[in-house]
Every structure is written in C-alpha cells, then in structure tokens.
Chains A and B, each alone.
Chain A
Amino acid sequence: MTLDRKTYYLGADLGSSFTKFVVVDDAGDMHFQRTIPTLSRNRELQSLTLAEIHERFPVAATCATGYGRQKFECDLRKTELICASAGVSHLHPVEKSIIDIGGEDIKIIESGPGGEVRHFYMNDKCSAGTGAFITEIAERAELEIGEMSELARASQSSRVINSFCTVFAKTEILGWKFDNVSIEDISRGIYLSIVKRIIKLPLRSDLPVFLCGGVIAFHPYLHDLLAGELRAEVQVVAHPQYAVALGAALLAHRSVGKSVAKN
C-alpha cells in the first residue's frame, strides 16, 4: 500500500560489497534507506526489498549506480562518481572535494556547488586502502571491524603498514603479531596506511573535504586522521554510506521530463 499521491524516486547503489537503496520525494527528502549484501546467496532479498519499495512508494524513475549498475533494471544508469557528487552536493551545495572510500576503490572528486564533476581520480587496479583491504588485514590481525576505531584512538603509535599489496600487508601484520604489537597499535597502523595512500592523491587544499562511502561510516577514526593530515576542513556527510544512492535518486528525479533512454 502506498503512502500518498506524492511522487518518489529510487536510487540503487550496487557496490562491490553492499547494495544501498534510497527513496526521495520531489523535494529531495529521504523517505527510505536500506542496505543489503550485493552478492548474497539469498537473491530474493533484492527482489523483496524492491517489492517493498514499490508497494510503499509510487516510484516515477529509478537510477542505478555502482559496479552492478549494468545488471539492474532501471531508467537511468550513472557512475558512482557522478552520483556521489550529486548526493553530497544536495547536502552541501558548495565547491568541495569528496573522498569516497568504498569496498574496492577510493575516489576523489572535485565537485561544484550544483554537483558538476570538475575533476576526479580513482586508485589504480588494486584494493590497497579500500574497505576490502581493511577487512582482509583486520581478519589476519583478529580484530573486530566495529571496534577498530575505538582501539586505534587509544594508540599513539606511528607504526604503519608499508606494503601496497594486500597479501604482503597481511604478511606484515603477521610479523607485528610475532612482535606482540598491541591490537590498539595494529588498528592505528591499518588506518595510517590508508591515510598514507589517500594524502598522496591530488586534492586541492583550498576546498573543504567531505567524506562518504561505507568505509567512513564504519571507521570514524579515519576522519580524525585525515583531518589531522589534510590542510583542509574535513567532515563526514550525513549517512555517508547512502550518499551515492541518494545522488542516484536525485538524478532519477532530474531525469524525469527529460528524454531518458532506457539503457
């Protein structure tokens, strides 16, 4: 049963780890948000979620983004960089840099007040510094992902993982364990290695930095470290893991009235 006669727009961000759904209304206000695993064995979860959305909201247009966008039935497909820029700009309509740390990549976007992408940069074909990197290393270090930020805050260590390769980084962690390095120092070391990767990327120092993506949502200590390293104002956007899906929903809204090619 639908809520009312208003029109809604669906954004689906099919990321490498999770799929995020966001529904907005004509004013761009968020009415629904949900995360499900992208490649769950339970394939029904996605269709059940979509059925629930369509039952609750009269969706006028859908935009898919993320690496799975080509496989998703929709009215519009946009890259996650375009959507991140649209989503963050809706919340912060200023000139800015966006750092989106995802499951398998890091994206830097220089974005205008209206969401236009001016420049962008993505890491090369390697998972170092991404969510997958943290998950792999944390597993070797026997760390609970949800506790890592608090543990890292208790450390003053400057020990850092040197290897860019996730496999070799795991070997480094093994060495740390043999040396009885504390779990606090290991946690901080993992974050420091990611920050080391990010700060070498091209970022303008005169623009505020907004962080989004699933990784920042679960690892708030990354914000603290980045704020200390970057010569710019750094803040995390509201609901950081939904910023890209929000952008997709907003772009779905904008596409209505334009001729939208079914991809």
Chain B
Amino acid sequence: MPRLNAQTKLKSILRDYYENLEAPLAWCTSAGPAEILRALGFEVYFPENHGALLGASRTALKYIPRAHQAGYAGEICSYLTADIGAWLMQETPLTAAYGLPSIPRPDLIVFNTNQCREVAEWFNFFGDEFNCPVVGVFPPRHLEEVSRTDIDQVVAQFRKVIAAGEEVTGKTLDPERLKETLRLSLEGTTLWKKVLETARNVPSPLTFFDGTILMAPVVVLRGTQVCVDFYHEALAELEKLAARNAAAVPGEQVRLYWEGMPIWGRLRFMAELFAEQQACVVASTYCNSWVFDDFDPDDPLPSMAAAYTKIFINRGEMTKLEYLRRMVEEYRVDGVIFHDSKTCFNNTNSRFGLPRKLQEATGIETLSIDGDLNDLRFFSDGQTRTRLETFIEQLTMKSMSM
C-alpha cells in the first residue's frame, strides 16, 4: 500500500501514458528538448525511463550480458547495456506492466549529450535498428558559466531538431504551440520543485525514495496538463502532511542528501535501511535534475537551451560545489552520501575530490558508497549496510556532542 495518495494516482497516469504512445512518436533523452517534439505533435518516449524500469524491476542483469556479447563493455552505462540487451532479447517490462508487446517504434530519435556521450551511442544503435532518423544535440560540456555564445550554439542545434521533426511530420512548428508547451513545462517543473521543497520541513514528509517514484511525470509528461495536474495534487497532499509535521521516516533523527544516481534495483532495501536508522534522505541532486527554472515561454528556444545546458551534470566542479553547498543549507542536512556509480562516470561526483571540498566548505560529513544504477554486480548489501549504519551513527554521535 503506497504511503502517499499521489503514488496510487501515478499508476493510472503512467498506464495512460504508455497505452497512448502512438505515431508520430519521438524518442528523446530525459533532459533533452522534449517540448519541441511535443509542440510538433509527437508523442514522446524516454529510453532512460525504460532503463530505470529495467533496473527497478531487477531484470537488468538478465539483459546486460547480452549487450556485452554485442560488444558493449561492462564499464559503460548500464542503462545502455540493459536497454540494448533487452531489445536484442526482444523483451521489455512494459509487456507485463502495461501490455505493450514491445518498446514503441520511433519515427524520430533525438538525444542531447548534456548528460553524457553514452546517449549518442545508445540512441544511434536504435536509429540503425529501426532505420529511423537520429538528431543529436551536442552542447558545450562541463561549464562553470553558461554564456550567450553557448546558448546560441545550442539554439542553432535545436533548429536542426525542429527541421527534422517537420520533415517527419510534414507540419511546420507552430510557435504558439511551442510557447504553450513550454508554459506547461515551466508550470510542471515549478510544481515539482515545490513538491521537493516540502522536504525542507523538519521532519520531512517526503524521502528521496518517494521522489524517485513521484518524478515520473516531470520526466515523461513534461509539457502536458496531466503533469501539471498531478503535481498540483501531490503538492497539496505533501503540504498538508508538512503542516501537521507528519514524518516520512517516523522519529527522524538524521537528515541526509543523496548525490548521484539511484540504485534502482535496491530502492526498497535502501529505503528500509535508512528508515530503520531513523534517517531520512530528504533531498537529492537526481530528483532536482528536472527542475528547469530558466524556461521562459516568451523566449522558448534560448530559454530551453539555457535550462538544458545548465543542468548539474553538465557543470564544472566549482558550480557543482556551490550547488551542493546551497542544498545542504536549504534542506538542513547532517550528511551527504555520494553514490559512486561504477558504470555512470558522468553522474558520479566523488572522484575529483568534491566530497572533501564540500566537507571543508560546510563542515558536514560525507560518505561515498560503491554501487551502480542498474548493474548490481557492483553493489554489496553487506558493505553498504555497514557503511551507512556507521555513517548515521557517526552523525548521531556528532550531533549529541554538539
């Protein structure tokens, strides 16, 4: 039984979404220009969401070895290897969950390497498989400041996406429809941010693990009224819980921040482990990655270019440090957990000294744990439990001595 009504509501929303993935259909990366595609009349499917489903359903390890056989190494993105492996074995969890015989066939594939270069290889593989046009957006990477030149460069690439979409659909992009789609995206993402901010309450009514479920609409339905309506309801529910100091983790003693990818196949294990220790993971970079403050319906392409280029994963170390410092302060966390995700180099932020720098900047403790988003061969229940229990006890001892 889900703890939140919003989680129950989500099931029917996702069923409707998957059952209505009809042509013309575009595939898009999760932080790509989905608004352009929707405004052109495409339904949009997100392979990363499918990758996460493979992880959460713990079927990824069945498919990853098949991708290895096809030449994809064990150290590269396990969304990619799980997804390609599942395709090569002609299976998908969408069959059992929503009755889909297969992943939906694309009419256009669009990716944005603002997250990583892996998406280019991943999406091009499927371009070949489906004999489908593929358009890539390659923004400048790892930026501290995002300049006007950077934005202009991305806007120029968005225009190529528009041209490709117009060719596939045979229709011209309606500027008013793009404006309206972006308005809905902005409203959806703003509400999502407010949902996450309810966790600033002490105790928090929301955990990171709730967030990894509730985030689905802002990823796959961004730019639709369904997304906006869902977060209106979710926000109202969470604000009520916050008003009466309802705790997502009863007896919340320790507040934590999660940096890095979720470990999809161990979400429940992790949620229960933290709850046992009366520790609440109140915020994460991951869930906040779909907060796009820069969207401006009156300036669609440049504002989208800014929003999608400014995402955390695409920033320099100094900007990342400042972001984390601000989150630590705003959410009043006692400690930060860095997930060293073995196959996700780009979204692992513990390898260039950031935990130490954050500790020096804020005085709060950090912990790195080994794992992976999908490949559970890189994860150990026992070692993770020992590290997390010790870390939480360390933080508890520290707070008692202060």
Residues of A within 8 A of B (CB): 67, 70, 78-82, 105, 116-120, 122, 124-125, 263
Q: Which 10 A-B pairs have CB atoms at the shortest separation, nearest pair first? A: A81-B390, A79-B390, A117-B394, A116-B397, A79-B389, A67-B382, A79-B386, A125-B380, A124-B370, A125-B370
When C-beta atoms are compared, the residue in chain B nearest to A81 turns out to be: B390
Instruction: Check B125 for interface membership: any CB of A closer than 8 A.
Output: no
Knowing A79-B389, A125-B370, A125-B378, the reply to whether A120 touches B394 (Cβ < 8 A) is yes
| Bound form: Cα–Cα A116–B400 in Å | 11
Residues of B within 8 A of A (CB): 276, 365, 370, 378-380, 382-383, 385-387, 389-391, 393-394, 397-398, 401
Q: Is the interface of B mostly helix, strand, loop or mixed?
A: helix
When C-beta atoms are compared, the residue in chain B nearest to A123 turns out to be: B383
6 additional A-B residue pairs with CB within 8 Å, beyond A78-B393, A79-B393, A124-B370: A70-B385, A80-B386, A116-B394, A116-B397, A116-B398, A263-B276
Knowing A124-B370, A125-B370, A125-B378, the reply to whether A117 touches B383 (Cβ < 8 A) is no
A117 touches B370 (CB 8 A): no
| Bound form: Cα–Cα A81–B394 in Å | 10
Q: How far is the CB of A72 from chain B (nearest CB, A)?
A: 14
Which A residues are in CB contact (< 8 Å) with B386?
67, 79-81, 122
Knowing A125-B370, A125-B378, the reply to whether A120 touches B390 (Cβ < 8 A) is yes
When C-beta atoms are compared, the residue in chain A nearest to B386 turns out to be: A79
A117 touches B380 (CB 8 A): no
Which B residues are in CB contact (< 8 Å) with A80?
386
B393 touches A117 (CB 8 A): yes
Which among A79, A81, A82 has the greatest number of chain B C-beta atoms within 10 A?
A79
Q: How far is the CB of B269 from chain A (nearest CB, A)?
A: 12
Checking B276, B383, B394, B401 against A122 with a beta-carbon cut-off of 8 angstroms, the contacting residue is B383
When C-beta atoms are compared, the residue in chain B nearest to A109 turns out to be: B390
| Bound form: Cα–Cα A78–B276 in Å | 13
| Bound form: Cα–Cα A146–B401 in Å | 44
Which A residues are in CB contact (< 8 Å) with B378?
125
Which A residues are in CB contact (< 8 Å) with B391?
120
When C-beta atoms are compared, the residue in chain B nearest to A80 turns out to be: B386
When C-beta atoms are compared, the residue in chain B nearest to A126 turns out to be: B370
| Bound form: Cα–Cα A33–B167 in Å | 79
